[in-house]
């Protein structure tokens, strides 16, 4: 158990809909990363938050957005969903700030999104 939790585990929705994926990082970790894993694209970085602020963006679509709240949990919002958005979405966290630099990231179990 990595200490990173994600809800829900599975999500089935229709095209055009909007969903929210939730992530709670390991206790004390300030950085949260979102990744998408799909068969055709592999594992891709979407976005990073550090202590509530956006730190870096990867291959994130404009239809997707994220935020990190004061309690450090994060949400990934996916809207106007398309069939191609079906994938496994992972959240990862790493330490930083006063806790020092942590090079490795710890991954949650993922949310499997199926768009029909």
The span of 22-30, 62-70, 77-85, 107-115 binding other proteins (CB under 8 A) equals 107-115
The dihedral through the CA atoms of 36, 42, 43, 46 has a sign that is: negative
Task: Out of 16, 18, 43, 63, name the contact with other proteins by CB under 8 A.
Answer: 43
Closest separation in Å from C-beta 55 to other proteins? 6
Contacting residues for 88 by C-beta, under 8 A, at least 6 apart: 36, 37, 38, 110, 111, 112, 113
Regarding 31 and contact with other proteins (CB under 8 A), the answer is yes
Regarding 67 and contact with other proteins (CB under 8 A), the answer is no
**Residue (of 115, 113, 95) closest to 105 by Cα position:** 95
CA distances from residue 17 to 10, 73, 74 in whole angstroms, order as listed: 15, 23, 20
Regarding 42 and contact with other proteins (CB under 8 A), the answer is yes
What values do phi and psi take at 71, rounded to 5? -85, 5
Closest separation in Å from C-beta 2 to other proteins? 7
Binding site for other proteins (CB under 8 A): 2, 4, 31, 33, 35, 42-45, 48, 55-56, 58, 90, 92, 94, 103-110
């Amino acid at each position: 158990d990595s200490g990173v939790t994600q809800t829900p585990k599975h999500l089935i929705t229709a095209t055009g809909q909007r969903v929210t994926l939730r992530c709670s990082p390991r206790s004390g970790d300030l950085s949260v990363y979102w990744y998408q894993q799909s068969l055709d694209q592999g594992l891709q970085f979407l976005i990073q938050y550090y202590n509530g602020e956006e730190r870096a963006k990867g291959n994130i679509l404009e239809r997707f957005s994220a935020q990190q709240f004061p309690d450090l949990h994060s949400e990934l919002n996916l809207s106007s969903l398309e069939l191609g958005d079906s994938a496994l979405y992972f959240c990862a966290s790493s330490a930083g700030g006063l806790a020092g630099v942590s090079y490795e990231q710890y991954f949650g179990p993922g949310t499997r999104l199926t768009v029909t």
